[in-house]
Amino acid sequence: MNPIYHAVIDAGSSGTRLFLYAAEPAAYPTISLIAEIEHSATPSGKKEDGINNFVDPGSPSKQNDVLRETIYPLLDSIRPIIRECGVSTADVRVDLLGTAGMRYAERMYGRAAIEAFYTILRQGIVAAGFMPGQIRTCDGFTEEGVWTWINLNDLERDIFRTDNDPVGVLEVGGSSAQITYSNADTPPGGFVTSYVSVNNRTFPVFCNTYLGLGQDDARKAMRVNLGSKANYCFPIGFRANLDIGDSLDGVGHYKLTEEGDYKFIECNAVYEQVISELCASMRLPDLTETEVEFVATDAVYHSTKFWEAHKNPYQLTKYISEICHSVESFPGIETNEFVQAQVANATYIRALLYGNNGLFKSNPAVLSHALASRADGRTRLTWTRGYLIQAYAVNDATINPD
């Protein structure tokens, strides 16, 4: 049986990536990554930071620009790869699934506006000669977090072919955070239970998504709440004129007005406030008694890896206390946006993990380590692969990627 070529576009809040896979349906399907495409800049020279930035019902021309600036460059990049595989573009299904950035856009503009925007994307994919599949926003409770859990546990624990126990996953992205784990207990309040069946192994999976608890959105909230005192979250000596800043949808661009002057108490307090306010109606789960091992990805990995603390994230508190104060501890901070944000991001991640409302405050050992999403130049930990594992798993039913 020839493989099925399937492209999945991860339309994230901070960028858009296309993953091209070869799928072989089976009880335990084979999902092989053929190519991964991401462009840091658009053809017009602007930073590519998510299709949600093109959503504007009052400006049809701006919305149509999403094809030329983002979608077509991705599709054009895989054309030669598809030819080498001996496949026509018309036989390559393209799914585009928006995540937290598009969920936020729907809050701002309403569902009808987002559906109209997705119609533009669908028509563009057809015009480019590809087969359109699902073009929509994925659900954080029953889809994105669950797909991340499937992929990570397949790669790290091989749970669908062995009797190994799965790990829980804390994924902190740009706009949202997902907590996903499997347990025989009753799920915590606010969590949704999904049942994952692959290779005749079935797991009840609890998942909750927290819009606004992503690293970038938390940092933007910090800038707004601290105002001119946002420099309390940047290392001492960091010059304000070098700050690349953060853009807030519909608000404007925020940059430092004063030189960095890191103060842990003040910086931590504003992040504690952000977490408390966002979790007022949807509390983080109490993991005091859990025996489930957790791993963390994405923003947690990047914040800890900077100091080689990813193997023991609890060390983050130590490094923040000892290193965050001086700009000299951050080579490249003058021009690198990720280094510039390291102190602010690390302070936030520490609060989210171990602070007053921290997920692992009462049981730090539950979080064993943080995992890198990429290895050998490719992304390993991506929900897109988990999505296809679930779609192409044959469990006494017809294969149905829909």
In order, the DSSP letters of 83-98 are HHTT--GGG-EEEEEE
> What pLDDT is stored for residue 402 in this prediction?
53
The arithmetic mean of pLDDT across residues 223-232, rounded, is 96
Q: Which residues of 272-287 are buried (b: 16+ CB within 10 A; e: fewer)?
A: bbbbeebbeeeebbeb
Report pLDDT digits (tens) over 139-155.
989 999 999 999 999 99
Strand partners, 332: none
User: Mind listing the domains of the chain with CATH numbers?
Assistant: 4-138+377-392 (3.30.420.40), 215-371 (no CATH)
The arithmetic mean of pLDDT across residues 78-100, rounded, is 97
Q: What pTM was computed for the model?
A: 0.91
Higher pLDDT, 299 or 399: 299
> What pLDDT is stored for residue 188 in this prediction?
78
Lowest mean pLDDT among 166-180, 237-251, 261-275: 237-251
pLDDT at 397 over 50: no
The arithmetic mean of pLDDT across residues 305-325, rounded, is 92
pLDDT grade, residue 251 (50/70/90)? low
pLDDT grade, residue 249 (50/70/90)? low
pLDDT at 399 over 80: no
Token digits of residue 105: 């856009």
Contact call for residues 180 and 171 (beta carbons, < 8 A):
yes
For residue 65, give the H/E element and its range. Answer: helix 60-66
The arithmetic mean of pLDDT across residues 213-225, rounded, is 95
> What pLDDT is stored for residue 376 in this prediction?
84
Q: Name the residue with tokens 């937290």.
A: 100
Lowest mean pLDDT among 74-88, 177-191, 304-318: 177-191
> What pLDDT is stored for residue 252 in this prediction?
67
The arithmetic mean of pLDDT across residues 276-296, rounded, is 91
How buried is 202 (Cβ within 10 angstroms: 0-12 exposed, 13-18 middle, 19+ buried)? exposed
pLDDT at 94 over 70: yes
Q: Name the residue with tokens 């936020």.
A: 104
Q: What is the average pLDDT score of the chain?
A: 94
Share of the chain above pLDDT 70, in %: 97
Going from the C-alpha of 265 to that of each of 140, 232, 240, the distances in angstroms are: 32, 9, 21
**CA-to-CA distance for 221 and 227, rounded, in angstroms?**
10
> What pLDDT is stored for residue 398 in this prediction?
37
> What pLDDT is stored for residue 325 in this prediction?
87
> What pLDDT is stored for residue 400 in this prediction?
47
Lowest mean pLDDT among 254-268, 301-315, 388-402: 388-402
The DSSP-derived string for 219-256 is HHHHHHHHGGGGGGGS-BT--GGG---EEETTTEEE--
